[in-house]
Amino acid sequence: MQNRLLAALPPADYGLVGPYLTHIDLERGRLLYDPGDPIDTVYFPHDGVISLMTLMENGGAIESATIGPEGALGLMAAVSPRASLSRAIVQTPCRAARISAVQLHEAWEKSPAIRKFIDRHTEALFGHAIQSVACNALHSVEARFCRWLLTCHDRISTNTVALTQEFLADMLGVQRTTVTAVARTLQERGYIRYRRGVVDIVDRAGLEAMTCECYGVVRRTYDRLLPGS
Amino acid sequence: MQNRLLAALPPADYGLVGPYLTHIDLERGRLLYDPGDPIDTVYFPHDGVISLMTLMENGGAIESATIGPEGALGLMAAVSPRASLSRAIVQTPCRAARISAVQLHEAWEKSPAIRKFIDRHTEALFGHAIQSVACNALHSVEARFCRWLLTCHDRISTNTVALTQEFLADMLGVQRTTVTAVARTLQERGYIRYRRGVVDIVDRAGLEAMTCECYGVVRRTYDRLLPGS
DNA sequence: AGATTTGTGTCGAGTTCTCGACAGTCTGCC
DNA sequence: GGCAGACTGTCGAGAACTCGACACAAATCT
């Protein structure tokens, strides 16, 4: 599996970035950026999920968007230098390619194809964010729980996700007890199985029937704007 | 009052767009874009507020971001042609300058200053969106009501906002009866006065004390990234 | 093996908000 | 002036979620 943005680049354009890419493994929980950090490195996940989290004054943190193999973390820094607006942490263990923002900026200056996919990615990520604004205001925790699992499942190659209910509660911005209750009903319906720190996705179709439209909307936005898988 | 982006452009750069700007009045409620519409025109408000709304499948609509004199509507279309992701409607009567996306794109190609402010604006708008994701998940209707009023107040020159509770309920994604209840407590505390279709802001400091941190966070993001008023 | 830490199950009181209903009021239109 | 339509006030049942508390279970450490 390979990052979809990189994979879709024509050879000549890939040649501008390929030599500067470093391949790394990102372990779960690794902190890549905090708000205010200068974005000096751009990460292209090959699989797995990176979460963008908005930090609140009380120390809380809630997920505001995610990055997977269809995109990249810090991509806007290729246009011009900037600071991170959010915290970025590695959600699932992740192979990735990274490149310095400076090198990517040079490629951006030379390649229309690279400028185009960065522009498209920015738009897709914005679309993701505004859909989440609506989702968080309108939809139940149950629907959002399913959406989160499905989005994660799309980006990994297994049916097993390592996460604690406590952590997911933070992501969704709800109480841990609420997550426990939702997880129980999903397990009773046979859509998932879970144990301490692990969730298995058993019946994707079941989750899809229970999530809100936002899952599909965001997914289609990415499919429309960015290279297919 | 003048759009802050345009006002901050050096004369030489302004010369690239000035001749193509048309000044217009936008009446309240006017629909500028719906999802999927090609963005052929960019609007620079001199005062007033334009709302970006995410449409849901059931016909509902909820505000996901706002545009005021510190920014512009459709600005990303200056980079390359695209379709709107959301509905854009005029929230308060609004003087504005408009320019065709094609003309603005030509200015974008020639002027580094224009490219820079468009890039900054995109980032600020993204910051606005991700803060709203968190806000909608974590904060009470009361706090969000105050935030909405304050954000609006920043962008108009009067203490009077024309809006119905029904409409505001849609913006916030809550029931109209909830808005009524919140409005009543704010009036009892002397922060606002309202009557059919009109809200007067009486005590800004009171509203500021009651809103969430998100108001200040978004405002500071704009101040940091874009030209001051 | 025992001790400690971390994650989960459950309970219950309390709050916030939903959702439907209906009456009353204001505004503009004919 | 009267009518129609749009906006607001209020009520009440019920659902969703919060928040604190505590017991229990699984993983980790020594």
Tens of pLDDT along B169-187?
Answer: 999 999 999 999 999 999 9
Nearest alpha-carbon partner for A66 in A80, A86, A36, A82: A86
| Consecutive H or E run containing B8 | none
CA distances from A112 to A15, A50, A56, A119, B203 (A): 13, 27, 38, 10, 52
Q: What is the CA radius of gyration of chain B?
A: 18
Nearest alpha-carbon partner for B104 in B2, B18, B10: B18
Nearest alpha-carbon partner for A54 in A218, A172, A164, A138: A172
Using the 8-state DSSP alphabet, how is residue A156 labeled?
A: S
**Nearest by CB to B136, which of A76, A125, A137?**
A137
Residues in Cβ contact with B76 at an 8 Å cutoff, skipping those fewer than 6 apart: A119, A122, A123, A126, B39, B82, B118, B122
Burial class (CB in 10 A: 0-12, 13-18, 19+), A36: exposed
Q: E-assigned strands of B46-159?
A: 50-55, 61-67, 87-90, 94-100
Structure tokens given for B168: 């505001």
| Consecutive H or E run containing B102 | helix B101-110
Dump pLDDT digits (tens) for B79-136.
999 999 999 999 998 899 999 999 999 999 999 999 999 999 999 999 999 999 999 9
Q: Does A138 touch chain B (CB under 8 A)?
A: yes
CA distances from A92 to A3, A17, A74, A157, B115 (A): 15, 25, 18, 11, 36
Burial class (CB in 10 A: 0-12, 13-18, 19+), A137: buried
pTM above threshold 0.85:
yes
Q: Does A86 touch chain B (CB under 8 A)?
A: yes
Q: Does A164 have pLDDT greater than 90?
A: yes
Q: Does A88 have pLDDT greater than 90?
A: yes
Residues A126-137 have a mean pLDDT of 96
**Nearest by CB to A138, which of B52, B62, B131?**
B62
* Helix, coil or strand: residue A36: coil
- Asked whether residue A137, judged by its CB, lies under 7 Å from any atom of the DNA or RNA strand D, the reply is no
Q: How far is Cα A31 from Cα B189, in angstroms, rounded to an integer?
A: 44
Q: Does B147 have pLDDT greater than 60?
A: yes
pLDDT computed for residue A60 by the predictor? 86
pLDDT classification of B65: cutoffs 50, 70, 90: very high
pLDDT computed for residue B180 by the predictor? 95
- Asked whether residue B184, judged by its CB, lies under 7 Å from any atom of the DNA or RNA strand D, the reply is yes
Structure tokens given for A185: 């009903």
pLDDT computed for residue A59 by the predictor? 82
Convert B29-56 to b/e letters by CB count within 10 Å (16 or more is b).
Answer: eeebbeeebebebbbbbbbbbbbbbbbb
**Nearest by CB to A62, which of B85, B127, B134?**
B134
Which residues on neighbouring strands pair with residue B24, listed in sequence order? B96
State chain A's mean pLDDT as an integer.
94
Q: How far is Cα A71 from Cα A226, in angstroms, rounded to an integer?
A: 8
Q: Does A136 touch chain B (CB under 8 A)?
A: yes
- A:B CB pairs within 8 Å: 101
Q: Measured between CA atoms, how close is A148 to chain B, in angstroms?
A: 14
Q: Does B229 have pLDDT greater than 70?
A: no
pLDDT classification of A227: cutoffs 50, 70, 90: confident
Q: How far is Cα B165 from Cα B171, in angstroms, rounded to an integer?
A: 10
Which chain B residue lies closest to A125 (C-alpha atoms)?
B126
State chain B's mean pLDDT as an integer.
94
Q: Which of B39, B52, B54, B116 best probes binding to A when mutated, by most A CB atoms within 10 angstroms?
A: B54
Residues in Cβ contact with A110 at an 8 Å cutoff, skipping those fewer than 6 apart: A16
pLDDT computed for residue B227 by the predictor? 72
Q: Where are the alpha helices (DSSP H) in A155-212?
A: 165-172, 176-188, 204-210
Q: How far is Cα A125 from Cα A129, in angstroms, rounded to an integer?
A: 6
Q: Does A165 have pLDDT greater than 90?
A: yes
pLDDT computed for residue A157 by the predictor? 85
Residues A23-46 have a mean pLDDT of 94
Q: Does A134 touch chain B (CB under 8 A)?
A: yes
Strand C nucleotides with an atom less than 7 Å from a protein beta carbon: 6-12, 16-21, 26-27
β pairing state of A87-90 and A50-55 = antiparallel
pLDDT computed for residue B59 by the predictor? 82
User: Which has the minimum average pLDDT: A71-75, A123-127, B125-129, B193-197?
Assistant: B193-197
pLDDT computed for residue A1 by the predictor? 62
pLDDT computed for residue A107 by the predictor? 95
Q: Does A229 have pLDDT greater than 70?
A: no
pLDDT computed for residue B1 by the predictor? 61
Dump pLDDT digits (tens) for B21-61.
999 999 888 999 999 999 999 999 999 999 999 999 888 89
Smallest CA–C1' separation from B194, nucleotide:
D8
